[in-house]
């Protein structure tokens, strides 16, 4: 990480501090009066809820994205994400609190700019921060004095200081005196009805004290609790820790699932029993693989960065590798189940239930369903799917070659396939009817756990 260096001119330092304090005070007054205009760059599953949040708190919001389709949809009052109703978008448009644009030259009109762009992995498994870099360049081209920039995209410790800051300073403005820069990790959990974005605490770390204070003040106008940490790097690391914690524990129960399967022990029963302990244990559950934009990706961001410091994160890497193998395990269980019934996977008709990465949401990002689909097609299976939340097969970055038909979940469809594979345990599904009318069910989520009468047709995977 870039070390902090002192200037050789004390007067210049004092002048910069004075400019920074004046600019900070002016920005804080705007924020407290809700006169600050907010821009959100990246209108996906993080950015669009953030747009809704700040618009609902009385701020004027500029929604920005390179995807003209998203911009056009919002300007017509239509949402493309289930958790943000179209009625809400239309209301904020009508009130003048919301505008949407793909022209980043308009960013100079904003007082605060949130960056919520994708941070995937490359084909080699390395961090792909190209969207962050490109967005920083776009902001830098329009940057003016007094603006606050906050990165919310998950990345390795040092991204805000090493990538965002240099790009924003290229035209001569200085962070901490002319503009302010902070990191606050997104903590959006699609489908979580218990904790809304407003209720989830925000962690805030700045490049400097004034940047941290400005970002914290802005978030305090929208969320119930803000935790200020010592640096942008600490905030970046906190986000990675949250998701690595889940990745490692999910890998553990996935490994136990495979181990207990050989011992003829029900892993879900074991987890349920262990969870009765009132301290020292938190239940995690196995599945067909990791999904979502965070848990399958974030651990590898830290692993990559750690190598810069001659440190190998063996524990994290092992967990990631184990979770990646889970679709292969599901495939092996399906293949073995078909073989025991005198059938081959090649030419078999397979119905996959669920493309979303978890139940009751419309988010397919990094869902293990796509890897499983790819493996099934490579084996020569004829695959169809059903997902009430994803009626049209989405275009996926790593699976553009896949084209799978969505079929209605009828008795005739269930009876016509050789196996039904439950990938996502949506609440809408009638699991008893699914098992009753399917010749074979591969259950990766314990969705059929209470259907003992059909146990001869159910294979857990």
**Partner residues linked to 422 by β-bridges:** 353, 443
In a domain, 115, yes or no: yes
**Residue 4 belongs to some domain of the structure:** no
Question: Are 204 and 253 part of one and the same domain?
Answer: no
Q: With respect to residue 366, please indicate whether it lies within any of the assigned structural domains.
A: yes
Residue 153 in any domain: the answer is yes
pLDDT of residue 41: 98
Q: 278, 301, 324: which is the final residue of a domain? A: 324
Residue of 163 and 192 predicted with greater confidence: 163
171 near 143, Cβ under 8 Å? yes
Based on the fold, state whether residues 204 and 258 are members of the same structural domain.
no
Structural contact between residues 137 and 167, judged by C-beta atoms closer than 8 angstroms: yes
Q: Which residue has the tokens 């490994």?
A: 255
Are the C-beta atoms of residues 234 and 159 closer than 8 Å to each other?
no
Considering its fold, how many domains does the chain have in total?
A: 3
Distances from the Cα of 244 to the Cαs of 229, 249, 299, 301, in angstroms? Answer: 19, 8, 5, 10
- Residue 346 DSSP SS3: coil
| Confidence grade of residue 193 (pLDDT, cut at 50, 70, 90) | confident
Q: Is the pLDDT of residue 16 over 80?
A: no
Phi/psi of residue 130, each to 5°? Answer: -65, -35
Same domain, 320 and 185: no
Q: Is residue 342 part of a domain?
A: yes
Domain that holds residue 214: 10-230
Choose one of 324, 345, 364: the last residue of a domain.
324
Cα-based angle 24, 29, 33 (whole degrees, multiple of 5)? 150
Residue 1 lies in a domain: no
CB neighbours of residue 234 within 10 Å: 14
Of 324, 342, 361, the one marking the end of a domain is 324
Q: What pLDDT digit, counting tens, does each position of 64-96 carry?
A: 999 999 999 999 999 999 889 999 999 999 999
Same domain, 448 and 335: yes
Residues 348 and 440 in one domain: yes
Q: What is the structure's pLDDT at 238?
A: 98
Q: What is the CATH number of the domain that holds 59?
A: 3.40.50.720
Strands 98-101, 148-151: pairing is unpaired
Asked if 336 and 443 sit in the same domain, the reply is yes
The partner residues of 100 in beta bridges, in order of sequence, read 63
Using an 8 Å Cβ cutoff, are 261 and 316 in contact? no
Distances (CA, A) of 151 to 113, 184, 275, 413: 8, 6, 37, 47
Q: Tell me, yes or no, whether 291 and 334 share the same domain.
A: no
- What pLDDT, in 10s, does the model give residues 318-351? 999 999 999 999 999 999 999 999 999 999 999 9
Are 70 and 16 members of one domain?
A: yes
Token pair for 37: 């205009």
198 and 49 housed in the same domain = yes
Q: Note the pLDDT tens digit of each residue in 202-232.
A: 999 999 999 999 999 999 999 999 999 999 9
- For 149, how many CA atoms within 13 A lie in the half-sphere containing its CB? 33
Residue 197 in domain: yes
Are 29 and 113 in a shared domain?
yes
Residues 224 and 83 in one domain: yes
The answer to whether residues 49 and 165 belong to one domain is: yes
Beta bridge partners of 203: 227
Examine residue 312 and state whether it is found in any structural domain, yes or no. Answer: yes
What integer pLDDT is reported at residue 8 of this predicted model? Answer: 58
Q: What is the DSSP letter of 457?
A: G
**Residue whose C-alpha is closest to residue 381's, from 409, 354, 352, 355:** 352
- Start-to-end CA span in the chain (Å): 43
Q: What integer is the mean pLDDT of 299-313?
A: 94
- Annotated catalytic residues are 294
Question: Residues 177-186: pLDDT tens digits?
Answer: 999 999 999 9
Q: Which of 458, 409, 427, 430 is nearest to 358 (CA)?
A: 427
Residue that wins the pLDDT comparison between 9 and 65: 65
């Amino acid at each position: 990480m870039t070390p902090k260096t002192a200037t050789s001119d004390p007067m210049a330092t004092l002048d910069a501090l004075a400019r920074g304090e004046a600019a900070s005070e002016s920005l804080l007054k705007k924020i407290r009066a809700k006169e600050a205009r907010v821009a959100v760059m990246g209108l996906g599953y993080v950015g669009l809820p953030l747009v809704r949040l700040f618009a609902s708190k009385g701020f004027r919001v500029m929604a920005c994205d390179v995807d003209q389709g998203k911009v056009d949809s919002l300007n017509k009052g239509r949402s493309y994400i289930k958790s943000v109703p179209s009625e809400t978008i239309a209301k904020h448009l009508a009130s003048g609190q919301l505008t949407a644009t793909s022209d980043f030259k308009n960013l100079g009109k904003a007082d605060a700019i949130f960056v919520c762009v994708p941070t995937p992995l490359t084909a080699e498994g390395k961090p792909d921060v190209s969207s962050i870099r490109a967005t920083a360049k776009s902001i830098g081209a329009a940057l003016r004095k007094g603006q606050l920039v906050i990165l919310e995209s998950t990345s390795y410790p040092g991204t805000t200081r090493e990538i965002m800051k240099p790009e924003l300073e290229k035209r001569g403005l200085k962070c901490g005196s002319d503009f302010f820069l902070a990191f606050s990790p997104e903590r959006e959990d699609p489908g979580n009805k218990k904790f809304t974005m407003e209720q989830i605490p925000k962690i805030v770390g700045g490049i400097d004290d004034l940047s941290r204070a400005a970002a914290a003040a802005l978030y305090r106008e929208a969320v119930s609790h803000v935790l200020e940490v010592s640096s942008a790097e600490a905030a970046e690391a906190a986000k990675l820790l949250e998701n690595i914690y889940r990745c490692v524990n999910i890998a553990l129960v996935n490994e136990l699932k495979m181990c207990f399967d050989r011992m003829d022990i029900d892993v879900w029963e074991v987890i349920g029993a262990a969870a009765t302990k009132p301290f020292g244990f938190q239940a995690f559950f196995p599945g067909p693989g990791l999904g979502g934009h965070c848990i399958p990706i974030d651990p590898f961001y830290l692993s990559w960065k750690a190598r810069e410091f001659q440190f190998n994160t063996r524990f994290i890497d092992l967990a990631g590798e184990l979770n990646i193998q889970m679709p292969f395990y599901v495939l092996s269980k399906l293949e073995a189940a078909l073989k025991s019934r005198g059938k081959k996977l090649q030419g078999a008709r397979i119905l996959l239930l669920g493309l979303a990465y978890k139940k009751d949401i419309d988010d397919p990002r990094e869902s293990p369903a796509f890897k499983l689909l790819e493996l099934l097609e490579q084996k020569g299976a004829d695959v169809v799917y059903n997902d009430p939340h994803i009626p049209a097969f989405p275009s996926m970055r790593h699976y553009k070659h896949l084209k799978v038909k969505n079929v209605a979940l009828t008795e005739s469809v269930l009876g016509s396939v050789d196996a039904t594979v439950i990938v996502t345990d949506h609440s809408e599904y009638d699991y008893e009817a699914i098992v009753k009318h399917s010749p074979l069910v591969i259950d990766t989520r314990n969705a059929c756990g209470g259907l003992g009468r059909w146990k001869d047709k159910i294979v857990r995977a």
